[in-house]
A and B are shown apart, each in its own frame.
Chain A
Amino acid sequence: MKITEDIKISDNGFVFNSRTGDSFNLNPFALELMKNIEAEKSFDQIKAEVMEKYDIDDLSFEKDFYEFCALLKHHQIVLQDNPLDFK
């Protein structure tokens, strides 16, 4: 899963898709996830870091993370050829 070249992410959480003109506001946690995806960290690595930092069980994290990724894909923020590929 890769963030497309058209996406610009500001440090304050403002996301702009220059191809579609869409813009989004991320909350601090979503921004943290986006930065991790942008850094091309693996799903396992992101999960480990989040579980270390926050009080969350792994099932809830996986569910929320997949939902978040589906949203990113829907809004053409990420490219994901294989729907099960979150690496």
Chain B
Amino acid sequence: MNKQKITLAVTGLNNTDNPGPGVPFIRGIKESEAFDARIIGLVYENLEPGIYMENLCDRIFQIPYPSSGSDELIERIENIHQQEQIDVLIPNLDAELFSFMKNEGRLRSRGIQTFLPNLKQFQEREKDKLPEFGKKYDIKVPGSINMSTLGQIKDLEDKYDYPVMIKGQFYDAYVAHNEEQAKQAFHTIASKWGFPVIAQEFVKGTEVNVIALGDGKGNTIAAVPMRKQYITDKGKAWGGITLADEKMMELTRSIISKTKWKGGMELELIKTNGGEYYLIEINPRVPAWVYLAVGAGQNIPEALVKLALGMDVQAMTKYKIGKMFVRYSYDAIVDLEKFAAISMNKEI
């Protein structure tokens, strides 16, 4: 079969101890039988490991953080597009998604395709809106309170038993076993991530996750459930295994069908000892363990790029059960020239 030549731009090459999904996404594309992709790596920092990995990207460009303004970011993408003629852009980091979603039309008019959730889908699954999301779509979620003052911690005890999860709106979560710990977590999170700080009921059980892909019409194109086997102190999976759990699959299909989810997603669930599932978070993009799905038989990166290009994609329903991933760290020795080029020229 002749592979279609495309130019694919990917962010999230930060394969650190808090890894982005860019590198495993590219690995999936390189194994695609449909595409012969020229890979454009888009990075925010000059030490993102994906820059230095051999045979990963054909070109690398540094782009400005979305916090410096959406326009600046999109203008930089347009500038890169003039050189490289990007067919598809896959943003992989939470913080940049809003800017790319907002500018989807502008990018499309330049010939750059994306496949992202719409703003409504993106916003209604935000952590501080989870109780409303659960109610609307009939999904069990832990109770939570959005806190903007320290005084609200005193009221927590009336509502929930300790331990309680204290979470940032975008990132970070701590288990607080008493009022003092809750206050400490509140301060840490508020100073880093701002308000609201979310106090969430602690649901006892096993954390399980699903990676999935929705076509935007209510169909689940791909879904693979996984359990983390090895978790870092940042709560990141350093090892995981695919599961045979029909209930998780049903829940995933139901969420995608009801929300008409468009794009990649990760569901974070707690399975209680009684076999109930509580949704604790929806990440609006593929997770860093996306390559496990590829290894288990569902090439989600390939399917996502196909959807972005408007191609027909058949739903993938089978995957290998008991497939594992084990992450590792590796010291790449690199020449100073590469570091100098990305630092000075903002491109390689």
- Interface residues in chain A, defined as those with a beta carbon under 8 Å from any beta carbon in chain B: 6, 8, 16, 18-21
Taken together as a complex, chains A and B put the C-alpha atoms of A8 and B320 apart, in Å, by 14
B152 beta carbon closer than 8 Å to chain A: no
Q: Which secondary structure dominates chain A's binding surface?
A: loop
Number of residue pairs across A and B with beta carbons under 8 Å? 20
Interface residues of B in 197-245 (CB under 8 A from A): 206, 208, 226-227, 229, 241, 243-245
Quick check: B322 and A19 within 8 Å, CB to CB?
no
The residue of chain A having its C-beta at the shortest distance from the C-beta of B225 within the complex is: A21
Nearest 4 A-B pairs (CB), nearest first? A21-B227, A18-B244, A18-B321, A21-B241
B251 to chain A, nearest CB (A): 14
B227:A18 contact, CB within 8 angstroms: no
Taken together as a complex, chains A and B put the C-alpha atoms of A74 and B226 apart, in Å, by 21
Contact size range, B? 10 to 19
Main secondary structure of the interface of B (DSSP, over half): strand
CB-CB < 8 A to A19: which residues of B?
A: 243-245
| Most chain B beta carbons < 10 A, residue from A6, A8, A16, A18 | A18
Residues on A with beta carbons closer than 8 Å to the beta carbon of B208: 21
Could you tell me the distance between the alpha carbons of A19 and B226 in the complex, rounded to whole angstroms? 10
Query: Nearest-CB distance from B263 to chain A (Å)?
Result: 26
B322 and A8 form a contact (CB under 8 A): yes
A20 touches B206 (CB 8 A): yes
The interface residues of chain A lying within 8 Å CB-to-CB of B321 are 18
Task: Tell me the bound Cα distance from A18 to B323 in angstroms.
Answer: 10
| Smallest CB gap from A18: residue in B | B244
B244 touches A6 (CB 8 A): yes
A17 to B161 Cα, complex, angstroms? 32
Binary contact track B299-324/A, C-beta < 8 Å → 1, others 0: 00000000000000000000001100
CA–CA, A8 to B321, complex, Å?
A: 11
Complex interface: chain A residues within 8 A of B206 (CB) = 20
- Per-residue A-contact encoding for B228-270, CB less than 8 Å = 1, 0 else: 0100000000000101110000000000000000000000000
> Besides the contacts A18-B321, A21-B227, what 11 more A-B pairs have beta carbons closer than 8 Å?
A8-B322, A16-B322, A18-B322, A19-B243, A19-B244, A19-B245, A20-B227, A20-B243, A20-B271, A21-B208, A21-B241
Q: Which B residues are CB-close (under 8 A) to A18?
A: 243-244, 321-322
CA distance A19 to B225 in the complex (A): 10
Measured in the bound complex, the distance between the Cα atoms of B206 and A20 in whole Å is: 9
Distance from A42 Cβ to chain B, minimum over Cβ atoms (Å): 29
Q: How far is the CA of A21 from the CA of B239 in the complex (A)?
A: 12
Contacts of B226 in A (CB 8 A): 21
Q: Which of B309-348 contact A (CB under 8 A)?
A: 321-322
* A and B contact pairs by CB, cutoff 8 A, 13 listed: A6-B244, A8-B322, A16-B322, A18-B321, A18-B322, A19-B244, A20-B227, A20-B243, A21-B208, A21-B226, A21-B227, A21-B241, A21-B243
